[in-house]
Amino acid sequence: MKTMRSGLVCAALSLLAALPAAGEEQRTPCTDRDPLRRPFFGDLHVHTTLSLDAATQGTRLRPRDAYRFARGEEVGLQPHDEDGTPLRRLRLRRPLDFAAITDHAELFGELRTCRTPGLPGYDAPICMVYRRWPRLAFFMMNSRVAEGEDATRFPFCGEDGSFCLEAAATPWQETIAAAEEAYDRSPQCAFTSFIGYEWTGAPMSKNLHRNVIFRNERVPSLPVSVFEATLVSDLWRQLDTHCARDVDGCEVLAIPHNSNLSGGLMFAPEEENGRPFTRPYAELRKRSEPLVELVQHKGDSECRTGVGTNDELCNFEPLPYDTFSAKYAGALGGTAAPTNFVRNALRDGLLHEERLGTNPFQFGLIGSTDTHLGTPGYVDETAHPGHGGAGTPAAAGRAKPGKGGFVIDRLPDDIEFNPGGLAVVWAEENTRDALFAAMQRRETYSTSGPRIPVRFFGGWEYGDDLCGSADLVARGYAGGVPMGGDLADRPPGEDAPRFVVWAAQDPAADSTPLQRIQIVKGWVEGRELRERVIDVAGGPNGAGVDRKTCQRHGEGARTLCAVWQDPDFEPRRRAFYYARVLENPTCRWSQYFCLEAGVDCDDPASVPEGLDACCADDHRAILQERAWTSPIWYAP
């Protein structure tokens, strides 16, 4: 057995060492390269002042500033005093490993026009509104892109939009230059920046947004916006044309986000034009979108209890509406569509694959922040600054001097929003090629903020001793596939696949212990979609938190590990499996803020004006931070 195990380890190391490490990228090799891969933590959803919604709420940080922040530098935030000095300062406790600035491509040119005297359109009425009443301008200008197929440019852009397209080249070049400047091509490989943007399609305010991430600096001369591609499938095809065909060495992927706000459209069973999926469409979607953003500032999109599942742990950071228009119209409540949620889409994908031979919903999972402050990776629950965007502008409300120089005496964000999550990528080194290749093969996972390391492998012959083995990872690769992979064909005589999952507490000194690891299984039985959630390590442990002080109590685990074999496996049924890791309970950002503001819900007189939400019946004061791995799929 020992000889056989050593052979497996050597085979794994040889296999991984043979994988392409740097593609065609011309750069200095990294001194710290791990053939068994390491987790790199980043943020692939970040807005700066180049985005209309960020600019109209007072954000002044530009792409270069955002990358400085991601690498650990301090930045200033709105509001600003009369001299333009920012009244808030912010710094990450731990720098990120990678990031992408993804400003909205829509209105790139219009926004620059309204800001630049002398450009055609600077004196247009809407630009005057923008400079005088920016928040009003946000709604007026955003309405041009929020109607999907009816998206139209302003008249000042010219009949063919050429004035605004020409103006858009400047912010796009700024985005490219900032990413190139931030990318560490030295042997230290300390930070990777990706060139990207956001495509902002939202027919009838139903969110279909995608973040578009390029592998390297070889990118199109302008981003494809909703004005050029009104349907998501148009976006994929135009990216194929303008990137893969027209630019030598250009590679790209798209990442859908906030399916929880899509009004049922994101994972609908037909195309946007109402036609049923075809195999070419499914293949295009699968190739174009290997990842989905599971959690971010505007909520969690994994699942909802009662919406295709009875899983009680699905109500993590839910929103009380499922479209942007419902939020602004105050239409809260109601039942969200099952096709809003990623777990349901993963199950639906199995049926599509049975019919079409291709799974259009074979997604790997990531998280990000969707910050509109230019502050990638800031996910600290104890000091959430608000991320803006669809929320309350960070510069609004009353302000007064405080011990730290500035205090906002209202919630810094809409209470239903949260600090967002992080994208985690398992790669050999921190380079564009290595990280992008990992995203393409879906060896990624999502966290709600903590930097929890998680490994997940699936195979047929893993031994029960794997959790106690020093070569767990090497044996995991040698004997199966990592998260994001497809199980190999079932060997003769093997009854069911086996999975090994390992997780560790975030290494930060003040982090929270782990409570449990679960495996979520979805499968097709006949034409019925089924699911099961299994605790495989740890479990309910009595840990909790005092909401009046945010003091935690109870024990937890520094590491958890399990080797699990599916007892209900049926070799004729398609299935997927992913792991979910939960920490012990902690206070949510809103509860930290309410306590800092002196709110005591038992004493109504202690509740300041504007902080009534702290004591609302639906205020979620406690949460369980978590991580979700990309699935592993089985096909007969």
Q: What pLDDT score does 404 carry?
A: 44
- Angle, CA 428 vertex, CA 192 and CA 470 arms, to 5°: 135
Between 223 and 25, whose confidence is greater? 223
The structure tokens listed for 636 are 């007969």
Q: What pLDDT score does 497 carry?
A: 97
Q: CB–CB of 196/70 below 8 Å?
A: no
Q: CB–CB of 192/208 below 8 Å?
A: no
Chain centroid, CA 378 distance in Å: 13
Pick from 449, 414, 470, 543: which is nearest to 5 by CA?
470
The structure tokens listed for 358 are 């291709």
> Residue 257's beta-bridge partner residues?
293
Asked if residue 184 has pLDDT above 50, the reply is yes
Q: CB–CB of 88/74 below 8 Å?
A: no
pLDDT category, 319, cuts 50, 70, 90?
A: very high
Pick from 475, 544, 429: which is nearest to 186 by CA?
429
- What's the rounded Cα separation, in Å, for the pair 310 and 305? 5
Per-residue model confidence as pLDDT tens digits over 265-275: 999 999 988 89
Contacts of 542 (CB under 8 A, 6+ apart): 554, 555
The structure tokens listed for 422 are 């992080």
Q: What pLDDT score does 20 carry?
A: 44
Q: What pLDDT score does 334 carry?
A: 63
* Strand 98-101 with 38-43, pairing: parallel
pLDDT category, 143, cuts 50, 70, 90?
A: confident
* Strand 399-400 with 210-214, pairing: unpaired
- What's the rounded Cα separation, in Å, for the pair 574 and 531? 12
Pick from 253, 146, 255: which is nearest to 203 by CA?
146
Asked if residue 146 has pLDDT above 60, the reply is yes
Asked if residue 329 has pLDDT above 90, the reply is no
Give mean pLDDT, residues 130-135: 94
Give mean pLDDT, residues 44-64: 96
Give mean pLDDT, residues 558-569: 97
- Angle, CA 532 vertex, CA 530 and CA 536 arms, to 5°: 160
The mean predicted confidence, pLDDT, of the chain is 91
* Strand 192-199 with 210-214, pairing: antiparallel
> Residue 586's beta-bridge partner residues?
623
- Residue tagged 């309910």 (tokens): 540
Q: CB–CB of 427/438 below 8 Å?
A: yes
pLDDT category, 22, cuts 50, 70, 90?
A: very low
Contacts of 41 (CB under 8 A, 6+ apart): 96, 97, 98, 377, 422, 423, 424, 447, 451
Give mean pLDDT, residues 501-523: 97
Per-residue model confidence as pLDDT tens digits over 206-258: 999 999 999 999 999 999 999 999 999 999 999 999 998 999 999 999 999 99
DSSP code of residue 487: P
* Strand 98-101 with 75-80, pairing: unpaired
DSSP code of residue 245: I
Chain centroid, CA 500 distance in Å: 25
Between 341 and 528, whose confidence is greater? 341
Which of the residue ranges 80-89, 406-415, 516-525, 562-571 would you say has the lowest mean pLDDT? 406-415
Q: Considering the entire predicted model, what is its pTM? A: 0.94
Per-residue model confidence as pLDDT tens digits over 373-418: 999 999 999 999 999 865 566 554 444 544 444 556 688 899 999 9
- What's the rounded Cα separation, in Å, for the pair 42 and 262? 25
Asked if residue 2 has pLDDT above 80, the reply is no
Which of the residue ranges 271-275, 450-454, 627-631 would you say has the lowest mean pLDDT? 271-275
Asked if residue 33 has pLDDT above 80, the reply is yes
DSSP code of residue 158: -
Q: How many CB atoms lie within 10 A of CB 42?
A: 26
Q: What pLDDT score does 304 carry?
A: 96
- Residue tagged 């931030």 (tokens): 182
Q: CB–CB of 103/51 below 8 Å?
A: yes
Find out whether the peptide bond into 79 is cis, omega within 30 degrees of 0.
yes
- What's the rounded Cα separation, in Å, for the pair 391 and 546? 28
pLDDT category, 165, cuts 50, 70, 90?
A: very high
Residues above pLDDT 90, as percent of the chain: 81
| Beta strand extents in 160-222 (DSSP E only) | 192-199, 210-214
Q: CB–CB of 108/172 below 8 Å?
A: yes
Q: What pLDDT score does 392 carry?
A: 62
pLDDT category, 6, cuts 50, 70, 90?
A: very low
> Residue 517's beta-bridge partner residues?
537, 581
pLDDT category, 493, cuts 50, 70, 90?
A: confident
Give mean pLDDT, residues 555-566: 97
Q: CB–CB of 252/235 below 8 Å?
A: no
Chain centroid, CA 293 distance in Å: 4
Asked if residue 192 has pLDDT above 90, the reply is yes
pLDDT category, 147, cuts 50, 70, 90?
A: low
The structure tokens listed for 326 are 């419902």
Give mean pLDDT, residues 263-289: 95
- Residue tagged 């949460």 (tokens): 623
